[in-house]
Amino acid sequence: MLYLRSLIFLSLVLSNQESTGTDPSQIIITDTGKYIPYVPTDIDAGPSEGFILNAHYFPALKFYNAGRYKDAESQLTYVVVRPHYLEANPRRPEFMSTAHYLRGMIYVYHASGLGRYTLAKADFEAAVKWNPLNYVVYLELSRVYSRLGFPEEAASVLRHLLSLMPDMMTAEEAQKELSGIPEKAR
């Protein structure tokens, strides 16, 4: 059984390396919350294969909210690499977008190591592909671009977000972020 788990982990690492060019094993995730046990949920959120929502997605949300980012990242990765398990679920785009968004948030705010921003950027971009109306993702993607020294790309993301006509609070945040970017890059 341990051998099988090792093979599965290795295949996840290699597939993530291929898509981002980054080795996730070099990323150190820091927990800020106290230990909480893994507990599957019993939420009726629609059809799924392999009990993925109650065994992985919802426990990941609990781990994330409790500051147990290593456990959350592990469970979110399980979900992210298995979108086909949610094919029959009409809320699949929402679940997948949120899983990518939260994993990106872990890499940006609760991890260290070379390549964490690359992994976050890839997750934020995937979150937007799954759900283009997940407005908060655009804000975080622009922040990653800014941190990486790409103000033009950050401004472009924010302008695109504003063109989507988000709610007033999100639009104000986007305008604030945009005003913080050097004028020549806007």
DSSP letter string, the chain = -HHHHHHHHHHHHHHHHHHHS--GGG-EE---S------------S--STTHIIIIIHHHHHHHHTT-HHHHHHHHHHHHT-GGGGTT-TTHHHHHHHHHHHHHHHHHHSEESTTHHHHHHHHHHHHHHH-TT-HHHHHHHHHHHHHTT-HHHHHHHHHHHHHT---HHHHHHHHHHHHTS-GGG-
pLDDT of residue 57: 98
pLDDT of residue 21: 66
Q: Is 51 left (phi over 0), alpha (psi -120 to 50) or beta?
A: left
pLDDT of residue 86: 98
Name, in order, each residue with C-beta under 8 angstroms of 184's C-beta and a sequence gap of 6 or more: none
CA 15 to chain centre: 16
Q: For each of the chain's 186 residues, which pLDDT tens digit applies?
A: 433 333 344 344 444 444 556 777 889 999 999 999 999 999 999 999 999 999 999 999 999 999 999 999 999 999 999 999 999 999 999 999 999 999 999 999 999 999 999 999 999 999 999 999 999 999 999 999 999 999 999 999 999 999 999 999 999 999 999 999 988 877
pLDDT of residue 19: 53
Computed over its alpha carbons, how large is the radius of gyration of the chain?
17
DSSP strand pairing (111-112 vs 28-29): antiparallel
Rounded Cα distance between 84 and 113, Å, is: 30
What pTM did the predictor assign?
0.87
pLDDT of residue 4: 37
